[in-house]
Structure 1
Amino acid sequence: MIAVTGATGNIGRALVHRLLAAGAPVRALTRDPQRAALPEGADVVRVPQTDPADPADPTGPASVFDGVTRVFLYAQAAHLLPAARAAGVRHVVLLSSSIIHEGADDPTHPIHIMHARVEQQLRDSGLDFTFLRPGAFATNALQYAPQIRAGHTDIRGVYADGLTAPIHEDDIAAVAERALLDTGHEGAVHRLTGPEAISNADQITAIGRATGRDLRFVETPPGEAGAELFPHVPPHMLDRLLRTFADTVGTPPEITPTVEKITGTPARTFTQWATDHTADFHN
């Protein structure tokens, strides 16, 4: 049995579908099973939201891992690690971040701190682990969806020339699938990116083409960027995140062949992602 945390998220949902299609038994952990809308073949279970005081308690968090040997773990669900270990889980595939790059990273960055802490917990746990360290998510472009759905054609954002190599969420799920089902990934660190660099302005152009709209990126000064442009970013992290975005201007992003090497299929472009997500930009 494979447990998937964050099963209703972009990556978790794609992974559940992939594992079921491969014939693997899946336990999907979610905060609200009644609204999860996951495939019938998944064993959908409510994920405990508090730290397990007693992982051996049969009515507590450990019970969600009964019969589970492998886990796909979001860093935000790290409080479940003791329960997973107590229940006999052997291998954890962690969704980490490419911001961790030994010798070339900033250990004070809040995203680094969160993921590095969980990586160390796994190293210390005695469990087999695989770290997936994706770069920019293509789904970050959904931050523009409210403006586009509202009918705007001038789309506000920061750093028009910022370059990333955004990765399709299903490509991350495809690598996670192989790490969970195949041998040889124990102890591995997989850095994941999309296949090409694209600017923020060109992302808007690609979304416009996919949706049949003539969209234009309008650069907003970072000092004027706030909750309207970054509704899901905690206020205390926004300034540091904006500085990270500033560093992408004029700096070619890391591009890795990892997706194709592991899955046998080339990573999808941002243009393909935009085509796959046209419905997200329509009312």
Structure 2
Amino acid sequence: MQRTVLVTGGTGRVGGQVVARLVEAEGVRVRVLSRDPARASGALGPQVEVVGGDLTARDSLSAALDGVDGLFLVFPSVTADHAAGRLVATLAERVRRIVYLSTHGVPDDPDHAAEPDGTILGSHAHLEGLLAGSAAEYAFLRSSGFAANTLAWAPQIQQSDVLRWFVPQARRALVHEADLGAVAARLLTDDRHQRAAHHLTGPEQLTQVEQLAAIGAALGRTLRYEEMDSAEAAAELFPEMPAGVAAAIIAGHAAMITQPEPVTDTVRHLLGRPALTFAQWARDHVEDFTGRQ
């Protein structure tokens, strides 16, 4: 029996991986929700149906949700929290299974009635609580830090062998977006592992200095990390961000010196293979760091 799966964020890094894995799966019709259907259709190709709609305007979702069995949900955290309650009610009524891209740090038993607090973690906790209280089947992908976040280094690396950044000894277990996409596709098409939260990480803890070295190895270059202090980093790297948010990002990295991101075997458990290494991720993204496409 063929099932229809709707993917939000289908042209993004994680959503794009979900689409790619679902297209390969037997008996799956892949649909992508987009606010710009013409542009998304050009990027995704003829195997994928693209339907217009906006998660913050639930009345725009009727056609996209028609006949949908499963949904991969990427929610615009914080900025759309005001629409979360109405959106989840609509999704739970129309879709049997929802796989939500969340984040590590959400409490294991989210409060179904908790209101968002203006933070990214609070937004994810709010969505999880709403979904757990209303969706027939759900799975939460509580991701460790994305390996793709290091693409913020690309502009500097394209110009120099020196990276000026903060907290070089922050130790992280960054996860490859291909693993997130593969796990999401598995949960959308496999009847096991439902009504559960899955903590996904990379296979190893690396400091930011070690991450930079892995990128350098992929490029065949020797890269050097130049540490910035907190005030300097906030001013130069996050000039348009509210000061409190920038400070929280830097402080969060500082905390990972003594409390590094944990490593889990969730990817192996769900996919039957080890999680992809950061070195592999760096090799997969050489063109991003050279600027040559």
TM-score by length of 2: 0.86
Corresponding residue SS for 1:8: coil
Question: Structure 2: which 5+ runs fail to align?
Answer: 110-115
Q: Which position in structure 2 is the counterpart of 1:265?
A: 273
Preserved contact between residue 170 and residue 260 of structure 2 (Cα < 8 Å):
no
Instruction: Determine the C-alpha separation between the residues in 1 that align with 2:49 and 2:283.
Output: 31
> Residue type matched to 1:41 in 2?
Q
> Residue type matched to 1:27 in 2?
R
Q: Percent identity?
A: 40
Preserved contact between residue 157 and residue 218 of structure 1 (Cα < 8 Å):
yes
Instruction: Determine the C-alpha separation between the residues in 2 that align with 1:168 and 1:233.
Output: 26
Alpha-carbon distance change, 176 to 227 in structure 1, aligned in 2, over 3 angstroms: farther
Q: 1:85 aligns with which of 89, 92, 117?
A: 92
Quick check: 60-69 or 263-272, which moved more? 60-69
Q: Which position in structure 1 is the counterpart of 2:260?
A: 252
Preserved contact between residue 33 and residue 53 of structure 2 (Cα < 8 Å):
yes
Alpha-carbon distance change, 48 to 252 in structure 1, aligned in 2, over 3 angstroms: closer
Report deviation, 1:236. Answer: 4.8
Corresponding residue SS for 2:260: coil
Number of equivalenced pairs: 272
1:21-60 residue pairs with structure 2 within 5 A? 21-23=24-26, 24-36=28-40, 37-48=43-54, 50-52=56-58, 55=59, 60=60
Q: Which position in structure 2 is the counterpart of 1:134?
A: 143
Q: Which position in structure 2 is the counterpart of 1:66?
A: 66
Instruction: Determine the C-alpha separation between the residues in 1 that align with 2:273 and 2:239.
Output: 34
Q: 2:232 aligns with which of 224, 237, 262?
A: 224
Instruction: Determine the C-alpha separation between the residues in 1 that align with 2:205 and 2:277.
Output: 9
Offset from partner CA, 1:41-83 (integer Å, 9 cap, x none)? 111122325433xx5xxxx322211110110001327564333
Corresponding residue SS for 2:129: helix
CA RMSD of aligned residues (A): 2.2
Residues 1:12 and 2:15 are matched in the alignment = yes
Higher helix share: 2
Corresponding residue SS for 2:256: coil
Question: Structure 1: which 5+ runs fail to align?
Answer: none
1:139-154 residue pairs with structure 2 within 5 A? 139-149=148-158, 151-154=159-162
1:119-130 residue pairs with structure 2 within 5 A? 119-130=128-139
Instruction: Determine the C-alpha separation between the residues in 1 that align with 2:88 and 2:12.
Output: 19
Alpha-carbon distance change, 230 to 256 in structure 1, aligned in 2, over 3 angstroms: farther
Quick check: 220-229 or 192-201, which moved more? 220-229
Q: 1:97 aligns with which of 75, 100, 103?
A: 103
Report deviation, 1:109. Answer: 8.1
Alpha-carbon distance change, 267 to 233 in structure 1, aligned in 2, over 3 angstroms: farther
Corresponding residue SS for 1:172: helix
Instruction: Determine the C-alpha separation between the residues in 2 that align with 1:198 and 1:212.
Output: 19
Alpha-carbon distance change, 50 to 183 in structure 1, aligned in 2, over 3 angstroms: closer
Quick check: 153-162 or 94-103, which moved more? 94-103
Offset from partner CA, 1:179-220 (integer Å, 9 cap, x none)? 100012221110000000000011111111111222111111
